[in-house]
Structure 1
Amino acid sequence: MERRTFVKTALSASAALSVPLTGRAAQASISKAEPFKLKYAPHLGMFKHSAGEDPIDQIKFMADQGFRAFEDNSLSSRDVALQEKIGKTLADLNMEMGVFVGNWNVRRGDGLAKGDPEIRKAFVEELAASVDVAKRVNATWMTIVLGNRHHRLEPDYQTANIVETLKQASAVLEPHGLVMVLEPLNHLHNHPDVFLSKVPHGYLICKAVNSPSCKILFDMYHQQITEGNITQNIDMAYEEVGYFQIGDVPGRKEPTTGEMNYRHLFKHIHDKGYTGILGMEHGNFYPDKDGEARLIQAYREVDSFE
């Protein structure tokens, strides 16, 4: 579809959402859409202009638009009562819970590559505490960021330190059927000193840990920047990929706003038999309520593969 045609279509869709209503009243004015082929997972705030500020109303709006999953990086920091309410809402709507971040303190600390016993102990304890969070929302996956590399320690020693830590963490998660997904982050634009930046390195680590509770979070935004060749990397690493995330380049906004051919990528992932979740970890390219309608229309466009 040409950009001019897409914009015209998106504007028509946004007009359908321009009735000045809020919350569930706004949703009631829109007939429920057909479910998307793949399980794209929006996050809170993505549709606040259409659904209102209430988190539960936002999740209900997502379901009405055909989204079958939801993710929330900040879930661990939310009140227990809200976590339980989110879990009940997802169950009532037959939606799946995507990732939440399972290691808040370590994520902001020295990371795991150094092999510090105290950091390792804190990391495993935090993951153990995340088990209860996961149960409240029926989650399977939690994002793990390994932290920064250390310039005075050989990279292979750092990898070995991380493997040992993740083996201990996997032993905590395996009895509960939970999976930590390791996220390679781009070191060229957003995270210049990060230790894990490439999918092949994540693949090596997961192979060494050798646990169903340790997999890769394949964020296609980061990998387009770091190494490109997304389709082949999906194929090479697929048996260790537990979760995908989405974001176009440049800008980290919804598909069709950048250089990536997400219609091709989604078809490729679908054809491989992937039945998991694809987290929408990106911003909205266009502002306000009209922008939210354009975002939904963009996903309809890239989800239209045969």
Structure 2
Amino acid sequence: MSQPSSATSPFAVDHLKIVPRRFYGRWLSAALILLILAFIVNAFAHGQIEWKVVAQFMTAKVIMHGLLNTILMTIYAMTMGIVLGVIFAVMVMSPNPMLRGVAGFYIWFFRGTPLLLQMLLWFNLALVFPMMGIPGVFEARTVDLITPFIASLLGLGIGQGAYTAEVVRSGILSVDNGQTEAAKAIGMTRLTALRRIILPQAMRVIIPPVGNEVISMIKLTSVASVIQFSEILHNAQTIYFANARVIELLIVATVWYLAVVTVFSIGQYFLEKVFAREQRRVVRQRPAVSKQGAGA
């Protein structure tokens, strides 16, 4: 019995035409996005913005001074925050109930109060302590010691320490508990094991959120303009209060904030790659170390 030809078979598909699926929703959304972008670009290009003023103040001395203060404040405050964060993360995980209580109170208080409020408290500390120092040795007026720079550093750095403490604690908890037990088995103290074994492995978990905190800190320095710290936004405001070029000076500040954030983001990317590579190296070496230990 002869088989039916493919042309007459009810299951033949050769004569069918393949029609690609039409994604009308994607096309419509892309067109709307392009339309909105075109509207925004046109508004900035033909609006009441003096781009010559933007170019004039982009590298003005007072703007550069504010930019330098923003970068320095970010570095100083994050350094203080990281140091405090590590210290209080270790304290909050300590078996000593007093240390746990103090660290818990620190984290609770500084995470629970607004950053602006903390800065204002430090800036007005002279209302509580008119004089600071050691009686009979060194004393000075608090209003002279707590400058806008110091108040900003204390507010940003100490407040950041509370958030970093939780990041460090989560990083330490991500390391297998067997690592700590193995360190104790070979006679390491708790702090030595933490410094040489736990923290190096926890850095892979700690670096990404701390990098995000650095990015946030760059922008949080603008809060210090309220207490007259000369960061970039404060200096831009000082200029536009004088020449009434508000949007132009805000654009200048925006461009520099984006530039600094971009540079720090690139640094964070490479730092994460370094620690990820180091983590892979440690993992590859771990079986060899175990064999050596077994042979001993």
TM-score, normalization by structure 1: 0.20
- Give 1 or 2: higher helix fraction: 2
Q: Which has the higher contact order (CA 8 A, sep 6+)?
A: 2
Scaled by the length of structure 2, what TM-score is found?
Answer: 0.21
For the pair shown, the structure with the greater C-alpha radius of gyration is 2
